């Protein structure tokens, strides 16, 4: 019991009056866009240059909402006399966002950093079939993905940068060797450089 | 000829006030209630902060089908909204706004006003009975019970003011008003206001229309324009109740800055503040139970009103 009868009633009135003087909390969404955290998980973007059609995302997806079609192409050997190599070419990459439950497993599982969370969230459709978004739309969303957070000071170099740098250094060394060979024409010209084949996997695409 | 024009003008002005003021109160309720709950309320209709929301609502109601239940007492069912709404128009006619600004001076003003306001509740009763719906019937009977118990303290509180002024004419009461009536009649004012709220079935006295338990009480079966008329009656009732409380207890056109020409502004201002209080109470308090309603009327309001009458009588004799 309150000490003064009716003080509870007055307190109730005070609460509502105080609330009236404060700013209301209503989000005026269509007029004013929400102030979302930069890494909001709004939609999944595809960085298709990184995709190797390994199908891991489609297989891990609990909802089976990722559709991937691809075919193999052969690429001519990198060096004369080498073996022809086959390469996967992405034909279709689609995510059905009417099935997707935004668990993010596909993004976690992608070994080539081809899938990313984008903060974009305004992709409602009037027809459920139109929620299956194809690779062009997914690629477009990639532009809204914020840049990765900076590495810690004195952290290890990112793998793709390291690989690219190694390739560049190797090339430089080979060029230097070639220049040295050109200086003394009587030297043996047997050694062929191997810049093309060996580094292919690591240096595929910087993110 | 001049008299006819005069009467026509007065009627027109009262009718305009009757149409506009309830809408203003309703819109204020939308906005005030929203902000008291940390919301914004209507923001789109009319462009600027949803000022035309109630106009849009009216258009919506006008477009709806007017359904009369098959088992209903058709004539009574159709008549009920008018019975609920029209008394408030009549009461508004008799409420003085300024010293010379009044729709029609009625000599027995207090009697007229309270009697006619009582008729307004009859509309909900008719609606509840004629709808042939058990929720409507429950709501109607609760309305009846509420009317019975709250008319008494309301009348007693009004009688106290009439005793103090020595007249039952509303303008007469205001002519006799002195500022110290305010503390003298404050208990009566509170009783009158609370009883009036109960009679309008406004929260926290909205047991008869308790939408979470008996749907919408007597108005359950109503649709379209007839339902809109009931809603309009509620807001017209707020205007009338606040105007009456202003006139009877708060000194109407008398104000600290006694500018003679601006008396009507004082009346409107006091009425608006009271209307705000009505909305404020609605937002702040939960609905009272049926037995609590009855107990409040009979064990609190009636004794308080009687005590006020006794006090008025004593002071009147002593002076």
Q: What is the largest CA-CA distance in chain B?
A: 63
Spatial distance between the Cα atoms of A27 and B189, rounded to a whole number of angstroms: 41
Q: What is the pLDDT of residue A116?
A: 92
Q: What is the pLDDT of residue A199?
A: 43
Spatial distance between the Cα atoms of B170 and B248, rounded to a whole number of angstroms: 7
How many other CB atoms are there within 10 angstroms of residue A207's CB atom?
15
User: In the CATH scheme, what is the code of domain A43-142?
Assistant: 3.30.70.3270
Mutate to test the interface with A, among B29, B38, B187 (most CBs of A within 10 A): B38
Q: Which residues of B touch A26 (CB under 8 A)?
A: 38-40
Q: Would you kindly state where each structural domain of chain B is located, as residue ranges?
A: 60-318
Residue with more model confidence, A149 or A201:
A149
Q: What is the pLDDT of residue A203?
A: 41
- Chain A CA closest to residue B41: A26
- pLDDT band for A206, please (50, 70, 90 cuts): very low
Tokens of B113: 């006003």
Contact A19 B284 (CB under 8 A): no
- pLDDT band for A157, please (50, 70, 90 cuts): confident
Q: Which residues of B touch A28 (CB under 8 A)?
A: 40, 43
Spatial distance between the Cα atoms of A167 and A206, rounded to a whole number of angstroms: 13
For A24, which of B40, B281, B283 is closest by C-beta distance? B40
Contact B43 A17 (CB under 8 A): no
Q: What is the pLDDT of residue A197?
A: 43
Which helix H or strand E contains A196, and what residues bound it? Answer: helix A195-198
Q: Would you kindly state where each structural domain of chain A is located, as residue ranges?
A: 43-142, 155-185
Mutate to test the interface with A, among B36, B48, B292 (most CBs of A within 10 A): B36
Contact A19 B35 (CB under 8 A): yes
Q: What is the pLDDT along chain B (319 residues), one digit of tens a residue?
A: 678 888 888 888 888 888 888 999 999 999 899 998 888 888 888 888 888 888 898 899 889 888 888 888 888 888 888 888 888 888 888 888 877 767 677 777 788 888 888 888 888 888 888 888 888 888 888 888 888 888 889 989 988 888 888 888 888 888 888 778 888 888 889 999 999 888 888 888 888 888 788 888 788 888 888 888 888 888 998 999 998 898 888 887 777 776 667 777 888 888 899 999 999 999 888 888 888 888 888 998 999 999 998 988 888 888 7
Q: What is the pLDDT of residue A174?
A: 92
Contact B34 A24 (CB under 8 A): yes
Q: What is the pLDDT of residue A204?
A: 42
Gap from A15 CA to chain B (nearest CA, Å): 8
Mutate to test the interface with A, among B32, B35, B47, B280 (most CBs of A within 10 A): B35
Gap from B203 CA to chain A (nearest CA, Å): 14
Q: Which pLDDT tens digit goes with each residue over A96-107?
A: 999 999 999 999
Spatial distance between the Cα atoms of B73 and B125, rounded to a whole number of angstroms: 13
Gap from A43 CA to chain B (nearest CA, Å): 29
Tell the burial category of B88 from Cβ atoms under 10 Å away from its Cβ (0-12, 13-18, 19+).
buried
- Chain B CA closest to residue A12: B284
Is a pLDDT exceeding 80 seen at residue A185? no
**Strand, helix or coil at B51?**
coil
Q: Which residues of B touch A25 (CB under 8 A)?
A: 38-39
Residue with more model confidence, A58 or B211:
A58
Q: State whether residue B277 sits within 8 Å of chain A by CB.
A: no
Contact B284 A28 (CB under 8 A): no
Interface residues on A facing B, Cβ-Cβ cutoff 8 A = 9, 12-13, 15-17, 19-20, 22, 24-26, 28
Q: Which residues of B touch A32 (CB under 8 A)?
A: none
For B280, which of A13, A22, A26 is closest by C-beta distance? A13
Mutate to test the interface with A, among B284, B296, B300, B304 (most CBs of A within 10 A): B284
Place of tokens 């079609």: A69
Buried b / exposed e over B290-313, threshold 16 CB at 10 Å, is eeebbebbeeebbebbbebbebbe
Beta partners for residue A133, in sequence order: A95
- pLDDT band for A196, please (50, 70, 90 cuts): very low
Place of tokens 């939960």: B286
- pLDDT band for A193, please (50, 70, 90 cuts): very low
Contact B38 A26 (CB under 8 A): yes
Q: What are phi and psi of A21, to 5 degrees?
A: -80, -10
- Chain B CA closest to residue A8: B285
What's the pTM value of the predicted model, to 2 decimals?
0.75
Instruction: Tell me the helices (H) and strands (E) count for chain B, helix number first.
Output: 13, 0
For B280, which of A16, A22, A26 is closest by C-beta distance? A16
Q: What is the pLDDT of residue B214?
A: 83
Q: State whether residue B44 sits within 8 Å of chain A by CB.
A: no
Q: What is the pLDDT of residue B260?
A: 67
Spatial distance between the Cα atoms of A119 and A40, rounded to a whole number of angstroms: 5
Q: Which residues of B touch A19 (CB under 8 A)?
A: 35-38
Q: Which pLDDT tens digit goes with each residue over A108-129?
A: 999 988 999 999 888 888 999 9
Q: Which residues of B touch A16 (CB under 8 A)?
A: 36-37, 280, 283-284
Q: Which residues of A touch B280 (CB under 8 A)?
A: 13, 16-17
Q: What is the pLDDT of residue A188?
A: 52
Q: What is the pLDDT of residue A60?
A: 92
Residues with Cβ < 8 Å from B19, sequence gap 6 or more? none
Contact B39 A16 (CB under 8 A): no
Q: State whether residue B39 sits within 8 Å of chain A by CB.
A: yes
**Strand, helix or coil at A202?**
coil
Spatial distance between the Cα atoms of B55 and B57, rounded to a whole number of angstroms: 5
**Strand, helix or coil at B86?**
helix
């Amino acid at each position: 019991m309150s000490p003064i009868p009716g003080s509870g009633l007055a307190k109730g009135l005070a609460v509502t009056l105080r609330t009236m003087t404060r700013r209301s909390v209503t989000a005026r969404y269509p007029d004013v866009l929400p102030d979302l955290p930069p890494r909001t998980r709004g939609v999944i973007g595809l960085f298709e240059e990184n995709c190797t059609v390994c199908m891991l995302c489609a297989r891990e997806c609990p909802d089976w909402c990722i559709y991937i079609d691809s075919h193999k192409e052969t690429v001519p050997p990198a060096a004369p006399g080498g073996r022809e190599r086959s390469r996967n070419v992405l034909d279709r990459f689609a995510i059905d966002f009417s099935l997707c439950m935004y668990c993010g497993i596909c993004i976690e599982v992608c070994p080539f950093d081809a899938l990313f969370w984008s903060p974009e969230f305004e992709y409602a459709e009037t027809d459920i079939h139109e929620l299956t978004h194809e690779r062009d739309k997914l690629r477009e969303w990639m532009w809204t993905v914020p840049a990765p957070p900076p590495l810690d000071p004195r952290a290890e170099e990112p793998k793709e940068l390291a690989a690219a740098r190694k390739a560049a250094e190797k090339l430089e060394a080979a060029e230097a060797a070639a220049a040295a060979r050109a200086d003394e024409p009587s030297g043996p010209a047997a050694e062929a450089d191997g810049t093309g084949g060996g580094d292919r996997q690591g240096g595929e695409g910087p993110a | 000829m001049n008299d006819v024009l005069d009467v026509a003008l007065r009627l027109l002005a009262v009718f305009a006030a009757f149409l506009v003021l309830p809408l203003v109160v309703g819109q204020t309720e939308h906005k005030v209630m929203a902000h008291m709950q940390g919301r914004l309320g209507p923001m789109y209709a009319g462009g600027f902060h949803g000022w035309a929301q109630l106009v849009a609502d009216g258009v919506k109601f006008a477009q709806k089908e007017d359904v009369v239940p098959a088992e209903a007492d058709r004539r009574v069912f159709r008549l009920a909204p008018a019975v609920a709404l029209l008394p408030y128009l009549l009461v508004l006619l008799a409420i003085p706004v300024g010293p010379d600004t009044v729709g029609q001076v009625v000599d027995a003003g207090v009697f007229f006003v309270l009697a006619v306001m009582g008729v307004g509740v009859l509309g909900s009763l008719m609606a509840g009975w004629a709808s042939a719906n058990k929720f409507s019937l429950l709501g109607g009977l609760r309305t009846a019970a509420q009317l019975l118990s709250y008319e008494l303290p309301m009348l007693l509180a009004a009688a106290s003011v009439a005793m103090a002024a020595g007249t039952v004419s509303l303008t007469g009461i205001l002519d006799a008003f002195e500022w110290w009536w305010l503390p003298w009649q404050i208990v009566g004012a509170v009783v009158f206001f609370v009883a009036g709220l109960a009679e309008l079935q406004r929260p926290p006295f909205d047991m008869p229309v308790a939408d979470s338990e008996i749907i919408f009480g007597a108005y359950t079966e109503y649709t379209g324009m007839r339902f809109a008329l009931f809603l309009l009656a509620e807001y017209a009732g707020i205007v009338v109740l606040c105007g009456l409380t202003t006139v009877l207890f708060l000194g109407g056109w008398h104000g600290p800055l006694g500018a003679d020409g601006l008396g009507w502004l004082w009346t409107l201002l006091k009425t608006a503040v009271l209307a705000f209080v009505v909305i404020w109470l609605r937002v702040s308090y939960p609905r009272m139970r049926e037995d609590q309603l009855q107990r409040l009327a009979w064990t609190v309001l009636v004794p308080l009103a009687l005590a006020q009458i006794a006090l008025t009588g004593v002071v009147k004799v002593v002076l």
